[in-house]
Amino acid sequence: MREITLSKAVNEAIAEEMRRDPTVFLMGEDVAEAGTPFKVLSGLVEEFGTERVIDTPISEPGFVGLAVGAAMTGTRPIVDLMFGDFIFLVMDQLCNQAAKTHYMSGGKLSVPMVLRTNMGATRRSAAQHSQSLHALVAHIPGLKVAMPSSAYEAKGLMKTAIRDNNPVVIFEDKLMYQDKAPVPEEEYLIPFGVANVKREGSDITLIGTSSMVQVAEAAAEILAKEGISAEVIDPRTIVPLDEETLIKSVRKTSRAIVIDEGHQSYGVTGEIAARLNEKAFYHLDAPVVRMGAMDVPVPFSPALEDITVPTAEGVAAMARKLCAGEMIHAA
């Protein structure tokens, strides 16, 4: 199968959906000729014109607000938020407006829009361009949240997001834009709420999101050499979350580590760990461990930044302890 970059996969997904459905359009800062700073959208304006690939002023609340209104009235906007960190700017439009419109109108109005943005540290961009803020929006009922872990997921999830009748936020890891993965030529969609068991194992379950799936897979490789069999699962969407697959796996392995690049406190790792605790408790032979980004603003210095995110070695070390029955934080 051909291999393409994650960037190309996103571009293909949007182009295919814009060809399929004339109500789909794209708006955001520098999405047209510039094709975004990461060049993810290059070439789209040439095919679809400036009427459907709209450069906006640097007015995040403004153009997200426009997208909400446009989505409520017959179109399907894809909004490009240049950096995930800017999500703080659009919170009212996203969380007070888009997320609640369907519910507050008793089901009469809907907001079929996609907000695509990014996440991920270690790009030496410091604290305002490196955050992974997906937990913030995952907290709000009414929004769906997808986190592609490779080019394959990026394309399939984007196409599903565009066809979904709810507001969907997609977080792409900006460090993965140039990563290649096999992506079929023929059309496919990846349904929301269906986790992907990337690797089967029997001793411990490693649940990773976005780039942390790669970290989990690398950790599983290390562990395999030591005779520890790790199962790796990618939930693919955190809202909706495929709880069943996660619980089934942990009931089998009795141990789990949840890895996510958001801050560890009050985050996705904690949410998933809590659900496993509630629903697989009597099958746990070790505490479910969270591994998120350190609870510090992302530092600029490479020497500091690199230690804030979970690594394959760190995950493997923790898995080793859990499988050996070592006590983790216990008296």
For residues 130 and 123, is the Cβ–Cβ distance under 8 A?
yes
Question: For the chain, where are the alpha helices, taking DSSP H only?
Answer: 6-20, 44-48, 60-72, 91, 99-104, 134-138, 151-163, 212-225, 243-253, 268-280, 302-305, 312-323
Q: CB 202 → another protein: shortest distance, Å?
A: 13
Q: Does 106 bind another protein (CB under 8 A)?
A: yes
Please give the backbone phi and psi of residue 182, each rounded to the nearest 5 degrees, phi first: -65, 130
Q: CB 166 → another protein: shortest distance, Å?
A: 5
Q: Does 104 bind another protein (CB under 8 A)?
A: yes
Helix (H) or strand (E) holding 296: none
Q: CB 282 → another protein: shortest distance, Å?
A: 4
Active-site annotation holds for 326: no
Q: Closer CB to another protein, residue 39 or residue 252? A: 252
For residues 11 and 40, is the Cβ–Cβ distance under 8 A?
yes
Report the residue from 97, 132, 205, 245 that binds another protein according to the rule CB under 8 A. 97
Report the residue from 110, 122, 125, 311 that binds another protein according to the rule CB under 8 A. 110
Give the contact letters, 245-284, x = binds to another protein (CB under 8 A), - = no: ---------x--------------------------xxxx
Q: Does 208 bind another protein (CB under 8 A)?
A: no
Active-site annotation holds for 102: no
The widest CA-to-CA distance across the chain, in whole angstroms, is 64
Report the residue from 15, 16, 39, 69 that binds another protein according to the rule CB under 8 A. 69
Q: Closer CB to another protein, residue 133 or residue 286? A: 286
Query: Which pair of tokens denotes residue 203?
Result: 């001793």
SS3 123: coil
Report the residue from 1, 2, 225, 327 that binds another protein according to the rule CB under 8 A. 327
Report the residue from 93, 150, 209, 249 that binds another protein according to the rule CB under 8 A. 93
Q: Closer CB to another protein, residue 73 or residue 301? A: 73
Q: How far apart are CA 220 and CA 163, in angstroms?
A: 35
For residues 211 and 219, is the Cβ–Cβ distance under 8 A?
no
SS3 208: strand
**DSSP per-residue string spanning 258-271:** EEEEEESTTSHHHH
User: By the criterion CB under 8 A, which residues form the site for another protein?
Assistant: 23, 25, 51-52, 54, 56-57, 59, 61-75, 77, 92-93, 96-97, 101-110, 112, 141-142, 144, 164-166, 254, 281-286, 325-327, 330-331
The catalytic residues are 60, 129
